[in-house]
Structure 1
Amino acid sequence: MNLARFDALLHPGHHRSTVIRRVLALVLVVVAGLSMLIDAHRADPSVLIFARPVAAGAVLTEEDLTTTRLPSNVVPANAIQESELATGQILAAGASAGEVVTTTRLVGPDLIAQLVAEEPPGEDFTMVPLPLAEPDIVPMLHHGARVDVIGHGPAVIAEGGRIVTVGEEGTVLVLLRKTHAAAVAAASLVDPLTVVLSGGGYSAIPQLKSAR
């Protein structure tokens, strides 16, 4: 700004009035824009996210969770909004900080429905915990993997299971048809059991340890 213009601003007149009006108009535009952004953010739905990395199989605590606001077009339909609905639930697959908590990330009906969505009609599914006789296979397992349960012999105890969670101590949670789940639960009481990946995956059957 040159000295003439600066001097004009110091004295009443048409030029100063024009500049002042333009500055005020610009300020109002900026304030209106900021207000719109704030209102839009407040209108975004509040959703639950992971506050820190959480391992698969962990029982969620308040410290694992926090809330944030996200645009509705990026919020999954099954997103959880209240921490009370997730606290105490088991996480099916590991999560990173900032990920949205959804019902299909937690062990429950929605997760089961997702895992068996492409299965043919038949007997209902249920989950059974299985301590593996050969924990060396654990690194090869992941949430959703299709497996067969193998017993002593080796003999196939159940086919077409799905891994729900993989524990750190060689225990897996397997989703099976109810009859197969009952057979696996009964066999695990007397024989060491393990699993092999099915459906085109790893299929070698490990040597089983002697019965416990």
Structure 2
Amino acid sequence: MSKLKRKRQKKIKQVSKSVAKIVSLFLILGMLFIVVLQHLSTSVQQTNDSSDTQEQTQQTFIAELLPHAKELQKQYGILPSIILGQAILESDWGKSQLGKDYHNLFGIKAGDAEDKVELKTKEYEDGKWKEITAAFKVYPNWQASMTDHTLLFVNGVSWNTTIYQNVLKATNYKVAAQALQDAGYATDPDYASKITSVIETYQLNQYD
């Protein structure tokens, strides 16, 4: 066999090996691409499922509170959007420890002779947030918490029985939210805007 022929065969073998390596590389890359696509597809599906589940949970929470909120509106004039908006903001859709375990949806504090539980919370004082331990009321169910919340607006507090009257008189959720903040319901300086944001995000004013 001539040297030229041997060189050609050697070159052909080298080219074949190179082609085989390239083909193998493309196959591996192709398989990796498919795996990545499958993973992304699964992640997107899980995200969609999670979003759907969260939305269903939120709608269930609203549906559970709405009938009693409407009853309280009929009896006392309080806007359902304010009841629902505060419940969502204060209890994180009923998932907070206070809301879930003790049925207190609104962070209402307890008096000396009332059933209570002590939990850590945050208060805004002197221009900054501080963690404190406070005594909160314990309720048998969410509806009892809603009733007590409304009666707080109706009866006020011992040192000012009319402090929440502007909340009850309000026919607009924005006015009611601002009245809550002005009356000092919460120490959060952005409380009114947060309540308003919740109401508008979930269109709770449709129930007013």
TM-score range, shorter chain: 0.3 to 0.5
The structure with the largest strand share of the pair is 1
Structure whose CA Rg is larger: 2
The structure with the largest helix share of the pair is 2
